[in-house]
Amino acid sequence: MKYSGWPDPGELVVGKIDEIEDFGVFVDLEEYQDKRGLIHISEVASGWIKNVRDHVREGQIAVCKVLEVDTSSQQIDLSLKDVNDHQRSDKIQEWKNEQKADNWMELAFGEDLEDDRYVEITDELLGAHGSLYDSFKEAAIHGDEALEGTDLSESDVDAIVETARENVSVPYVNVTGYVDLENASEAGVDGIREALKAAEGNGDIPEGVELEVTYVGAPEYRIKVQAPNYKTAESALEESAGRAVTAIESEGGEGEYHRERRSDDE
C-alpha cells in the first residue's frame, strides 16, 4: 500500500536509494506514491564524509527520518544518521508487515480490486486499528467483533476475517489450572462425566480459545487453555472450572478449583 499524501516531519520512512551524488543521496519513498526525498551529505552519517558511496549504495533499502517537507517545491529533506538501530529494525518490520497485509487484501478481494474500493476498505481498517496488518491480526483473533466499529459491509468483513484466519500467525498464550471432582452420591461416575462435559463447555467455547480437560489422578483433572491473551485465557480457565464445580455439586458431589497440581502423577 502506498499513501497518496505527504510524510510528516519527524516520521520514519522506508526508501530505496535511487541516485548518489557528491552532495547527497536521492531516495524513492516506498510508502508514498511518486514521492522522492534527499539526504544531504551532512545527514548521511556522523562526522566528516570523504565519499558518500562508502556509506550507501544504489538500490539499498534505508530507513530515514523526515526533517522537512515543502509541498510547494515538492521537496522532502531526510536524514539517515538520525535513525538508530532499534528504530531501523522496528520500522523495517512494520513495513514488511504492511506489505503482507497488502497481499492479504488481494487475497480477500481479488487482484482486480479497483483503486477506489481499495481506498474505501483500507480507510476503514486504518481508522479502526491504525494499520492494515493490525486490522488483519485483530480480525484473526477476534473475528467479526474486531471490525464492528467500521462501515464495512457484512461481505467485506467476512472476506477479511476468512483471509486473516487463513494467513495471519497470531501469538497465543497458554494457562493451566486444576479442578478436583468427587462424587459419592448415586450419580457417581456419571456425575463426574457430566461435570467434565460442562468444563469443556458442552461444545460452546469462545472464538479464538482452545480448551482441553485431561485426567491427572483421582480426584484431579487438568484444564489447559490457549487464547490470544492472558485476560481471555484466565477468564476461560476460571469459567471452565466454575462450570465443572457447579455441575458436580448439582449431581450431589464436590468440586474445588486450584492452580497448582496436587497429585503425584504428571
> Quick check: 251 and 183 in contact, CB under 8 A?
yes
Please give the grid coordinates belonging to residue 137: 491480526
**pTM surpassing 0.75?**
no
Last residue of one domain, picked from the residues 63, 83, 103: 83
Please give the grid coordinates belonging to residue 235: 477468564
> Quick check: 51 and 45 in contact, CB under 8 A?
no
Kindly state the percentage of the chain with pLDDT values over 70. Answer: 97
**Cis upstream peptide for 219 (omega within 30°):** yes
Amino acid at 181: L
**Cis upstream peptide for 228 (omega within 30°):** no
Q: Tell whether 189 is covered by a domain.
A: yes
Q: Tell whether 34 is covered by a domain.
A: yes
Structural domain count of the chain:
3
CATH number at residue 79: 2.40.50.140
Nearest to 82 by CA among 91, 73, 74: 91
Please give the grid coordinates belonging to residue 30: 516506498
> Is the per-residue pLDDT at 184 higher than 90?
no
- What range does the domain containing 113 cover? 86-167
> Quick check: 40 and 65 in contact, CB under 8 A?
no
Question: Do 162 and 144 share a structural domain?
Answer: yes
> Quick check: 55 and 43 in contact, CB under 8 A?
no
Q: Using one digit for the tens of pLDDT, what is the confidence trace for 13-22? A: 999 999 999 9
- Rounded-to-integer distance, Cα 170 and Cα 32, Å: 28
CATH number at residue 206: 3.30.70.1130
Kindly state the percentage of the chain with pLDDT values over 90. Answer: 67
Cα–chain center distance at 14: 21
Number of H-type helices and E-type strands within the chain: 6, 9
Q: Using one digit for the tens of pLDDT, what is the confidence trace for 61-98? A: 999 999 999 999 999 999 999 999 999 999 999 999 99
